[in-house]
Amino acid sequence: MAARALPEVNIDDKVFTLKYYVDEQKSHLSLRDPGLCLKCAQKPCLSFCPVGVYRLDAQGQVVVGYQACVECGSCRVACPLHNIKWDYPRGGYGVAYKFG
C-alpha cells in the first residue's frame, strides 16, 4: 500500500449519531490483564475498532470505553494477545441502529 496520510477524524462526532441503551451496571468488554497491553508493541485495537472504544489514558494504559461499542466482534479476534474479554451486552442493551 502506498503510504497515505489519512484525515484526522473525531470519532466521537460519528458515535454521536448512534443510539445506545447503555448497560450502566456491567461492561460487556474488559481487558483480561491490563498490564499485558504495555507489552503489546503495535496496539492494533487503537486502530481497528470502528468506534474508538480502545484509547490510551495519560499513563499510556489502554482504557475501554465500552459504551460506544457497536458489537461488531472485531476485537474478539484481532487482539494479537487475546487480551480482550468479549461478550455481547445483555439482551436489549447496547447499540440500536435507526437505519443500519
Partner 1 sequence: MVRLNYDVIVVGGGPAGMAAAITCARAGLDTILLERGRFAGAKNLFGGVVYTASVLSLVPDLFSASRLPFERPVTEEGWWILSQDGVVKITHTNATLRESPPRAFTAFRAKFDAWLAKQAQKAGVLVVPKVRVIDLLIKDNFVCGVQTDRTASWDDHRPAQVKAPVVILAEGVNRILSIKAGLVPRDFSPKEVALSVKEVLQLPKGELESRFGLQKDTGLAVELLGEASLGLPGTGFLYTNTSCLSLGVGLFLIDYATHNIKPYALLEHLKRHPVLAPLLAEAETLEYGAHLIPEWGFFGLAKLCGNGVLAVGDAVGLVNPLFREGTNLAIYSGILAGKAAIYAHKKGNFGYHTLRLYEEALKDSYIYQDLRYFRKLKTFLQQNKSFFQTYPYLLNEVLHLYLTAQGRAKQEVFKEICQLIRKQRGVTGLLGDFVRAMKFLKGW
41-49: long-range pairs with CB below 8 Å, 24+: 42/80, 44/78, 44/79, 44/80, 45/75, 45/78, 45/79, 45/84, 48/74, 48/75, 48/78, 49/74, 49/75
Q: How far apart are CA 89 and CA 67, in angstroms?
A: 10
Q: How far apart are CA 43 and CA 99, in angstroms?
A: 32
**Binding of residue 74 to ligand SF4 (CB under 6 A):** yes
C-alpha cell of 48?
481497528
Q: Which of residues 4-63 bind partner 1 (CB under 8 A)?
A: 4, 6-9, 11, 13-15, 17-18, 21, 42, 44, 47-48, 50-52
Q: Which of 27, 30, 67, 71 binds ligand SF4 (CB under 6 A)?
A: 71
Q: Which of residues 53-72 bind partner 1 (CB under 8 A)?
A: 70-72
Residue numbers of the site for ligand SF4 (CB under 6 A)? Answer: 29, 31, 36-37, 40, 43-45, 49-51, 53-54, 62, 69-75, 79-81, 83-84
Residue numbers of the site for partner 1 (CB under 8 A)? Answer: 1-2, 4, 6-9, 11, 13-15, 17-18, 21, 42, 44, 47-48, 50-52, 70-74, 76-78, 80, 88, 90-92, 94-100
